[in-house]
Structure 1
Amino acid sequence: MTPLDDADVSTVLVVTAHPDDVDFGAAGTVAMLTDKGIRVVYCIVTDGDAGGFDRELDNGGMAQLRRAEQTEAAKRVGVTDLRFLGYQDGTVEPTLGLRRDISRVIRQVRPDRVITSSPERNYVRIQPSHPDHRAVGGATLDAVYPDARNPYAFPELLADEGLEAWAVREVWLTGGQTNNHWVDITATVDRKVSALKAHVSQIAHIADGIEQFVRGFLAANAKAAGLPEGSYAEGFQVVQTA
Structure 2
Amino acid sequence: MPKPDNDIERALVVGAHPDDIDFGCAGTVATWVDAGVEVTYLLVTRGDQGGFDDTPREEVGPIREQEQRAAAAAVGVHDVRFLDGYRDGWVEPTRELERDISRVIRQVRPQRMLIQSPERNYERLPASHSDHLATGEAAIRAIYPSARNPFAWPELLKDEGLEPWVVNEVFIVAHPHADHPVDVTDTFERKIAALREHKSQTAHMGDELETMVRDWLTRNAALGGLPDGRLAEIFTVTELA
Q: What's the counterpart of residue 152 of structure 1? A: 151
Q: Residues 46-85 of structure 1: matches in 2 within 5 Å?
A: 46-59=45-58, 61-85=59-83
Tell me how far 1:204 sits from its aligned partner.
Answer: 2.3
One-letter code aligned to 2:70: E
Q: What's the counterpart of residue 120 of structure 1? A: 119
Q: Residues 80-119 of structure 1: matches in 2 within 5 Å?
A: 80-86=78-84, 87-119=86-118
On the 8 A contact 1:46/1:88 being kept in 2, the answer is yes
Q: What's the counterpart of residue 176 of structure 2? A: 177
On the 8 A contact 2:31/2:187 being kept in 1, the answer is yes
- Bigger drift between 77-86 and 219-228 goes to 219-228
Tell me how far 1:47 sits from its aligned partner.
Answer: 0.2
Q: What's the counterpart of residue 16 of structure 1? A: 15
What is the distance in 2 between the residues matched to 1:23 and 1:117? 12
Q: What's the counterpart of residue 133 of structure 2? A: 134
Sequence identity (%): 54
| Offset from partner CA, 1:36-58 (integer Å, 9 cap, x none) | 11100000000001101123231
Larger relative helix fraction: 2
On the 8 A contact 1:169/1:240 being kept in 2, the answer is yes
Q: What's the counterpart of residue 200 of structure 1? A: 199
Aligned to 1:55, the other structure's residue is in SS state coil
On the 8 A contact 1:20/1:70 being kept in 2, the answer is yes
One-letter code aligned to 1:64: P
What is the distance in 2 between the residues matched to 1:51 and 1:212? 22
What is the distance in 2 between the residues matched to 1:105 and 1:80? 16
Tell me how far 1:227 sits from its aligned partner.
Answer: 1.4
Q: What's the counterpart of residue 213 of structure 2? A: 214
Mark the runs of 5 or more structure 1 residues left unpaired by the alignment.
Answer: none
Count of aligned positions: 240
| Offset from partner CA, 1:83-116 (integer Å, 9 cap, x none) | 1003110000000000000000000000001101
Tell me how far 1:208 sits from its aligned partner.
Answer: 2.9
What is the distance in 2 between the residues matched to 1:70 and 1:154? 30
Q: What's the counterpart of residue 234 of structure 2? A: 235
Q: What's the counterpart of residue 161 of structure 1? A: 160
Q: What's the counterpart of residue 25 of structure 2? A: 26
Aligned to 1:115, the other structure's residue is in SS state strand
Tell me how far 1:124 sits from its aligned partner.
Answer: 1.0
Aligned to 2:76, the other structure's residue is in SS state coil
Aligned to 2:55, the other structure's residue is in SS state helix
What is the distance in 1 between the residues matched to 2:197 and 2:56? 17
What is the distance in 2 between the residues matched to 1:194 and 1:28? 10
What is the distance in 2 between the residues matched to 1:225 and 1:238? 13
TM-score, scaled relative to structure 2:
0.98
What is the distance in 1 between the residues matched to 2:165 and 2:145? 10
On the 8 A contact 2:179/2:224 being kept in 1, the answer is no
Q: What's the counterpart of residue 143 of structure 1? A: 142
One-letter code aligned to 1:84: F
Q: After TM superposition, which residue ranges in structure 1, 4 or more long, deviate above 4 angstroms?
A: none
1:38 aligns with 2:27: no
On the 8 A contact 1:128/1:176 being kept in 2, the answer is no
1:7 aligns with 2:6: yes
